[in-house]
Amino acid sequence: MALVFNPYLTVAIEMDGTIDIVSTFLAAASSYLLVKKRFFLSGLLLAVGSAARFWPLALLPIYLIILGKGGRRRGRAALILGFLGAVALLLYPFVSAGKLSALKALYGLPAKHKELTWFLGYLISGWGWRTSVGVVACLYALQAFLIHSRWRPSLARAWDGAFAVLLSYIAFSYWNRYYTIWVAPFAIADYAMNREKHGRLEYTVLFAMFWLGMALFNFSIWWIPSLFYVHPYTGWLAEAVSSVKNFGLQETSSLLISTLGRSILAGATIAYLLKINFRNFRASLEAAGKGK
């Protein structure tokens, strides 16, 4: 409910009209179903979400690591089966209409393999020494290693793993105003589930800084200059729109507020990322201590 009635979400959909909310909803639902042991449906929704927007595909290896760490071979097989089944259903209309030529056309699209490498921050220019790897890709690999080697084997960690991957991207990669839609449901759920257990004041301050940084960045560049696309029906409203647009032009040239917001948001996401890993390390150590 907190996600559905989030004012940021309403404004983003009304003004941008992007399909990111579709992929975000399906990715969040996939994480929830994984925690609830509905592995086939989780894989299916993750595939459909990846078809709407490519970034949910980056969550699949994390889910497989978590399932493998918990020794859930059947669960991992069901997840893969659901994912591949959805991919097959999505490709069937193209294959039935144009057979192999349709697949060649899809493979020849400009996006191709670059979508996933764009999310991970790869800077591919060739093979061998000419291939460079971005910060996000390194953090992704490091996070996958930590989940496998240091986190407690539990399906509940799927939500934390997805949140950590998205935080790495928000903190260290180029992003647009609607990219923050991806992380919104995970941030809201993390705050609701963990603030009482892991420090209410600390979580409240961190959560507030996260949304403050996001608001400053998004509103100063896109939403304030346009005044939410409100049509100036009256004289005073026309003057208000003109004043706000003038402010927007000045801000666009200086980028002062947006840079401040971006810095606050990056700092908050890094703090979130560290906090998620530390609390999972602590849970793993506590479980090991009880085992002894």
Q: Model confidence over 229-285: pLDDT tens digits?
A: 666 666 666 676 666 666 666 655 557 777 788 888 888 888 889 988 888 888 777
pLDDT value at 129 more than 70 = no
**What is the reported pLDDT for 60?**
93
State the Cα–Cα distance between residues 134 and 173, nearest whole angstrom.
Answer: 9
**What is the reported pLDDT for 127?**
47
Find the domain containing 17 and state its range: 7-291
State the Cα–Cα distance between residues 123 and 125, nearest whole angstrom.
Answer: 6
289 or 210, which is more confident = 210
The band of 26, judged by pLDDT with boundaries at 50, 70 and 90, is very high
How large a percentage of the chain has pLDDT more than 70?
66
- The dihedrals phi and psi of 167, each to the nearest 5 degrees, come to -65, -40
pLDDT value at 54 more than 50 = yes
Q: How many domains does the chain have?
A: 1
Mean pLDDT of the chain: 78
Q: Which residues have CB under 8 Å from 136's CB, separation 6+?
A: 119, 120, 121, 168, 169, 172, 173
Model pTM score: 0.79
Residue 2 lies in a domain: no
DSSP three-state, residue 60: helix
